[in-house]
Amino acid sequence: MMKTGVKSIALKRYFRSSSVSLKSTLANARNILEAELQNIREAGTWKAERIITSKQDVNISVQGQQKSLLNFCANNYLGLSSHPSVVAAGKAALDKYGAGLSSVRFICGTQDIHRNLEMKIAKFHERDDAILYASCFDANAGLFEVLLDKDDAVLSDELNHASVIDGIRLCKAKRYRYKHRDMKELEAMLQESRSSRLRLIATDGVFSMDGTVTPLKKICDLADKYDALIFVDESHASGFFGKTGRGTEEYFDMKGRIDIINSTLGKALGGSAGGYTTGPHELVDLLRQRSRPYLFSNSLPPPVVASSTAAFDLIMDNSEYPDRVHTNAKRFRSKMKDVGFTIIVLLVF
């Protein structure tokens, strides 16, 4: 009886001391996290989230504001996020196909609408095939480690999107980072990497933070000279850049010259969610077999797929929407100059 009592006391002390230790560890972690949060505040980079209480549109309602506000912040370049046809397609798919698949694509998560959208994307870009992801971040995370190995090299613009940078970090290829749009440095790196099995030049089409455009013609010339492939993230170009919204290569009148295109469905093309890779069918087939974000993420929900499909239907053979973007941009610059503002144009080629 005494031994049992002693054991009980010892166990209580053990659990009490373990609990104190866990609380101490958590408290220490909280202090570390709070210090990091304070550093962000002091650096002036704290990102506060405004709470919108309406649909995404030109005019929006924001929590705490009495009047509606003009919205110049969204990537809703074509205004399709709340377009009646896009919304109606999402509602209809919710009724017919359900809210989601509860599965990855290769088990039981591929519906006819998924393949229809992939084929529509490929047709839009005039490529062999396309593969859908939960986001373009996932598309970028899933590409490089599948395509490139330790015998390859990837040459990346220093201002590429964070998802491109992170995707490149996941692969085993030798990594080169050239100064933004610096073709002399890129050429030097191409010369240095001549012994590589494959070389991939990776760049954004339109750089979202600076408004610059990749010098695609010069990149293509270098790729031809040094037998390199070209990858372009077109997230801030697809749907509205170029005469019919086909992006950077159309803008430079070089359609079909980019080897691999990644882009998003979450900006101009409906604004809901999702991303994709489009290019040679051999690459797309390999991504279906080995791309981890594709293999281990649930399929895009049917309403998202249908909404994005409707957005493509609106722009597939109609340049009205990209034309409107260009007209509005010119009008905005002109009117701002009229009232005394200096407009800095950063669209550098």
Catalytic positions: 208, 236, 267
Nearest 5°: the CA angle 275, 277, 281 is 145
Q: Compute the CA torsion angle 334, 338, 344, 349 (nearest 10 deg).
A: 30
Among residues 300, 296, 277, the alpha carbon closest in space to that of 287 is found at: 277
What CA–CA distance (Å, rounded) separates 313 from 316? 5
Which is nearest to 271 in space by CA: 66, 34, 86? 86
Please give the Cα distance from 212 to 210 (Å, whole number).
5
Altogether, the residues listed in the chain come to a count of 349
Contact in structure between 142 and 293 (CB atoms under 8 Å): yes
Distance between CA atoms of residues 206 and 193, nearest Å: 26
The DSSP bridge pattern shows strands 199-204 and 229-233 to be: parallel
C-alpha neighbours within 13 Å on the C-beta side of residue 270: 27
Rg, the chain, Cα only? 25
Which residue, 126, 153, 115, is CA-closest to 288?
115
